[in-house]
Structure 1
Amino acid sequence: MAFLKQIRAHGFKSFADPTVLDFSHDMIGVVGPNGSGKSNITDAIRWALGEQSAKSLRGGSLDDVVFSGSSDRPALDVAQVTLVFDNSNRVFSTIDADVVEVTRKFNKKTRESDFYINDERVKMRDIQDAALETGLTKSSIAIISQGTISTFAEAKPEARREIFDEAAGVAKYKKRKRETTAKLIKTMENLNRLEDILTEIARRLPNLEKQSRKALTYKEKIEELQKYEVAILSRDVKFFKTKIEQLRVQRDDLTEKVKGLSNEINFSEQEFSDMVNETSTSEKSMVELNTKFNDLVQRISDLKVKKNDAENRENNQNKNAHADEIKAKQIKKEFDEKSINLQSEKEKQAQWNNRLTEIREKYDYLSNKFEQLYAEIETIRRNAMRLTVEKQSLEKQQSSNTFGGPYAGSKAVVSHANVIGGVIGTLMSLVQVQEKYQLAISVVAVGTMNSVVMKTTDDVKRAIEFLQKNQAGKATFLPLNALNPSVIQGPQRIAISQQPGFVGFGNDLVNIQEEYRKALDYALGTIIVVNNYDSAVALAKTINYKFNIVTMDGDRILPHGAIMGGNNKNQNIFTQSQRSEHNLEDNAKLIQRYEQSELEKNQEINEIKNERDKARDDINTLESNMRVSVDNFNQLNNQLRGLSEDYRIITGKSLNPNDKAHGGELESIKFAKEIAKLELERDNIQIEINTLSTSKNKYADRQKELNQQNSVKRKELNELKDELAAVTAELNVIHVRNTEALRRLAENYGMTAEAAMAMEEVKFDNEAEVREHILQLTADLRDLGNVNMESIAEYEAEKERHDYYLAQTKEIREAVEKLESIIHDIDIAMETQFKKVVDDVNEALPEAFRRLFGGGTARLIYTEPDNILETGIDIQVNPPGKKISNLNLLSGGEKSLVALSVLFSILKARPLPLVILDEAEAPLDPANVERFAKYIKHFTGETQFIIVTHREGTMENVDVLFGVTMETKGITKIVKIKLIDAKKLVEEEI
């Protein structure tokens, strides 16, 4: 049976070139000179199956397995060996495949080792476990060298036992026993730790129970106190509320009355004041009229004198005519000049008036514009403030989406990257994902996308210390120097990519800088994206539910078959982040526009303010000029009236064109008419004086009446104010008491008035007794002294811990018993199987011994028959014609034959799929070599043999020969050869 079908090696030891050995026969010979690399084939098999000992591989360190170079060839960095096995008989029972490829790869530069079974990356332990199933282990007989033969023959019985353990399959039991014993030790440690904890808890429980009982008493009394005090306070608040409403109504009614009466008094006082003013005005008018009356009397008297003088002058008309004419001309000239000046002042006033109107209109317009702009600026500021609040809310929301909840630690680390050092950023910040893939990637990587990518594990240590020191949460870190991500690759990757509905592998659908590729592979290296649910289910079945599969709609099929799906509307972490960023950008732009608009409006309002101030200055200047002009106008007008009067007196004519001409009327007649006119005016003034005197008396009577009325109203007002003050004072007292009750509810019981009144009402008849009971409860609470309220929870927690640990202790004791039982069962199984193998070997050994020795007998014996688990194995032999009591008395060749007979007997009892013989027959003479080679053929039906040899007898009996040479120094070359060529190779060595 050809179990090992092929060996592929490249870079391993002397295999500098890619080398392929096809083993399709049951008995294979490998020949070649010493130093050509024959044994490197055996080393390659052992190394690929997980051998870790450099010494066992004939090297000083693991680096020695990599081709170190020669004079003509540079050294290589990578060693790789692949073993191809026929698994149609399911020798590898845990691998459901007809062909099993085991690959080991070592990179000397990176110090990284990779292991694969059928192109799937695995751990070294997986390969070593697989090797256990084949028997290809360090201590088994699957690999037999010349050293193994001599060691076995000369070994102490205890050391010789190891091969029988392997043959019996005891190795896996020993491994289980070691693991179970380790579990037992750990479990016993846990049991001891739990018993220590229980002892400590039991020590604390009595005191905690005492404190807890005291706290419960306190709690009961405080709850009873609360019940009654809240009831009293609730009743007080309810009473105060009703009383406050009543007093407010009473206060408001009194306030209205006070206000109404005050208004009446104010009206009366205003009327009184008006009467006083009217009286004063009447008195003033009477004074003025009396003055005018007296003036008229005087003027009439003066005119009468003038009339007499005029009559005298008329008698001498021509006496002074020439002098009056000259004076009249002078007056006329001065009158004309002042008239021109008066007209000029009128024109100036008209211009200034128009200008004032324009400027006032402009000032009003600018003032309105100023108010409008100020209102606009206030609106802009309010909008900007609203947007700023929205921005802060958006920033807070974005922080929550990106780093809230469980990702606060990530945010803290990224925010303090300059303090910590080595922080690259969250994985999400380093990737770019096309929109169509964002939902699928979000669903499978929402957690890892918030992980923090770090340069080294030392940087991670600093970050963790920072989070611990600042109590800033937790974070997941991806140190680039330590990540060893799993990625789907090889034939499996190709096969998956050809499945219907396949979209891509997660790490291929996301862009990232190459230096951060490890972090992306860690997050998405084993993620497969497909187009829909049906494709996902079909692919999952094909790959035996091995990897994470996600659809474009966000539905997932997890390894081992669990399915997650449903509404994924808000799962896209990328659009959430982008939407928040866009909203923040729009918000920032709006704020910027508002700030710019405010700046422009402020500039405009400053310009308008300057214009308005200038307009106000112009108005002040024009008003000042107008006042001066009006004064000048009035002065000129008065002067013109005087000149006109003088001219009229001299000439009898008026200089004012609006006055009617007197014609040539005699002056005495004019004075007579003037006297009559003034006398009429005097009489009218007398009538007016009499009327004012009557009104003055009426005003005095009304003032007296108002004084009397106001005196009564003021008394009534004072009474109302006193009543209002009393109601207000009572209301304030009730307010204070209500506030105190509400404060006690809030501070003592954390309750509002509504909550207190909503509680179930406590019925009691005698409020005084309740208040007395409250005082008693307060005293009881004071007598209890210091109370540890936390002791209730502490006692319950400790009691719960005690019960929990008690149950745990029971479970662990049961686990200890179970583990001890398992170890006992393992011991029985090992003893049974070991005895069975020794018995089977003893049954096969006599025949094997006779065939190899040509006669004689041999048997295995226990060194400690009563201790099968620890006993050594000794060998009693009787070669033909000899009686030997000790193996050391045999020759080297005989020792080898003894060892081979035992090893072949083991193989007979427990067949192995593959045995490698590395010059195992070297010590034998030609006749024994011939017997050795022919005897091997008895096993080839169940076992494949690879024999490294230089003995002709062996070469003649193998199915196929491989020649190993070093045509180039340091580089092994292997070819199939014929027997004659094999002999030449051996002769060359000789």
Structure 2
Amino acid sequence: MFLKHVELFGFKSFADRTKIDFADGISALLGPNGCGKSNVVDSIKWVLGEQSYKTLRASKMEDVIFNGTQDRKALNIAEVTLTISNDEGILDLDMPEVAIKRRLYRSGESEYFINNTPVKLKELRELFFDTGVGKSAYSIMEQGKIDQILSNKPEERRYIFEEAAGITKYKIKGSEAERKLQRTNDNIKQVESIISEVKRSHDNLKIQSDKTIEYRKAKDNIFYLELDIQLLRLQKFLEEKNSKELQLEKISKLRTDLKDKIMKLSENLQSNQGLVSKLENDLIQSQKELYGIDLEKNNIEAQKKYLQEEQTDLLRRLRQQDLKIQEYNDKYLEINNEITAKNEQEKSYKARIDEIQKNILSYQESINQSLQSIELNKNKINDGEKSIVKFEDDLVENENRLRTITDNIVAKLEDELNQSGYTRDLKQNKQEDVIKSIQSLRLKLKSSIEKFWDQVRFNNISNQNVEEFVGTLREQINLFDQIYDSFNAYIAIEPSLIDDFLSPESIFHRKKDLDNLIFQIKDTINQLRTNNKSLAEQNVILSERILKNRSTLEELKVNQAKIITQSNSLKEIRVNLERDSEETLEALNESKKIKGTEQTKYESINNKIEELNKKQQKAYEDEKKLKDLLLTLEKKISQQNSELEGREKELNDCNIELAKNQSKYDQISMSLTQNATEIRNLNDNFRERYSRDLDDFTSRLINEIKDMPNQLKERLANEKNHLKSLGQVNLMAPEEFIEVKERYDFLNSQINDLINAQEDLKRITSEIHKESTQMFLRTYKEIKKNFHHMFRQLFGGGRGELKLTDEDNPLESGIEMYCQPPGKKLESIDLLSGGERSLTAVGLLFATYLVKPSPFCILDEIDAALDESNVGRFVNMLMEFGQTSQFIVITHNKKTVAGAKTLLGVTMEESGVSKTIAIRIEGAEVS
């Protein structure tokens, strides 16, 4: 991953669309003051999400838009696109190249894009979490950032360590988890508030339900007491009926006896009184019939009156039933229309609840799988940590052995050198003697050979010449012997300890073997730590996924609870409507039934009245005929009586007695008719009041009625007083209580789920805190060790230390820096000079890079306060790190420029408008 190019349009002084390509390694951004170099850095910070206009050196955010010059108009938009190579997949996007774009309008509207896809600022920031890249990460180092690193506030330094440790996003996720935990607490309070309201309804309906049950029991008691009283009345009427029927039977027998007696008297007088007897018989029969007709007339009149009264009452009740039927019918239609609407709405709620339930099961399954993966990774991490501890123990042991061997090598080397008398000056002198002798010998040999060769070539050779040449050679051989002696003396001063050190059994080879073994152990430890770190990161990702899924699950459950509550409320309304519909339909059918019954009664009474009218008319006609007949018979009898007065006296007495008996018979008959009417009225009244037949309960007379009527009436009065004392009663309270109880129990189960989710959030937050602490401490220790080495390398010695201000709470602790440049005491960072402070900040930056390098880094004139020697160390280290990371350096220092592979120039050919040029330097070296 590295920065490929940045494209600016309308940002500050870059009025024209400008594309700046960056190469790998070190690129130097050059230009005079005020040309817009720092605007390039500002643009990169801005596109990475910087929201502080002061950090961008502006008075308001709209100031980053090109404001125009004397020759150019102002623009209404600023746009910066940052293109990053993502071949290694460091960014969590499956794309080889990622383009980040930010656009700002003068209206204040701001837009963010990733590969031309609109995104939120949060998504853009999350993309760079824990990569070292960001508006406030250590990928951008400038003078202000150095001041922040070296600030007197240790808390302001820790962001570098957090970014290197890779816990920035986990801290944010932890904060988000805490916010979700707070929302869960709020939801619990909300549900508790609902439960409190439902509980009040629950408790109130419980009281009402108990009261209604007591009311219903009292009503039942009243019904059975009144039933028993009516049954006793019925029993009394039936007993009276039986008694009168017995009397009627007795009188009927007596009357029959009298008739027989009269018949006998008539037979005795038949011979003498045939005609009188016949007339008397006719008279008696006519009187009887007349009396019967009179009784029948009275009875018919009484029946007509009773039937007419009942008919009037039926007409009134029929009109009332017609009104009720119309009212119930309208109400029934209205309720059914409303029920249909509620059913459709309830189906919609049910579909939504089923869909949410499926999602809940899916998320729950995902959470369970993630928890299993986390547990498996933890076991692997524990195994890895145990292995690391073992290897670290081996490492310490071997490093101790290495230090012992190294000390032995140094001691032996010093001892050998002291024994050999070897010095550097002696070796130098001997070496110079050998070189001078060899050069002198070479020149003399060359001169003698050339002189002899010339003589041979020109045939000017003689014995003397040969002897001279041979003599010269002998002298030079003697000189060669001297050179040989000098060389042996040179060789002799070299100590033999090198051969001893290089032998296979030497201490040097043992040191080399230990070095290889220590390297292998360190490599194994690093691999184990890398693996553990990867597993820990997987666990954090899984925990984050669990947290996100639990949050979604919680929201789904809350939504489900809300919809279920709404559905239950709707169901409650629908059930009430259905109950009202059933009650209305039942009342409608009952009214129709009552109307039908009343109509039948009315028609029956009408028919009875018509029959009674006919009977009454016939009775009047029969009465007139009998009266006429009686007058005729009385006249005839009167004529005959004068002759038969004596005998007829007895017969007359019998007739008088018969008439008395007949009168009693008729009275008892009328009483029986009245008794039957009473029984019928009693049954009708009971049926009308309770819609049940009294005859259905006659078995209670034998088995269940133990009390006397007065006792029953007293108990009835007590029950009615008890019923009255109950006051107003909600007759539907028991049914409503059952529904509210179901809702109350459901809400209690929901709050239990929320409490479980709360505990899970607390556990996950604790795990994130624990993992973040471990990652932070591990990174802090590595940076601390690296900082000490970097400090010594940059300062040529000395000591640099880091210390947590609160070791018990590392995630909130500040980080103190203590520095001891060579020749000084260990002191706080704020006592250093400007150059020392800058060099210390550079040391901390590179110490961080050793732990987690940023893919690219922008350095804005951080070498400004360094002297020549420190700049040299800085550049050498920069070139070393430039092999693995990309550096873009804004500088005015020649040595820093000399270390760059690419030069990027920023200039202002047109006043107020920046433009760029680029030069690539191949094979550049920095001395």
Q: TM-score interval w.r.t. the shorter chain?
A: 0.3 to 0.5
- Of Structure 1 and Structure 2, which has the larger fraction of its residues in helix? 2
Q: TM-score with structure 1 length normalisation?
A: 0.44
Q: TM-score with structure 2 length normalisation?
A: 0.47
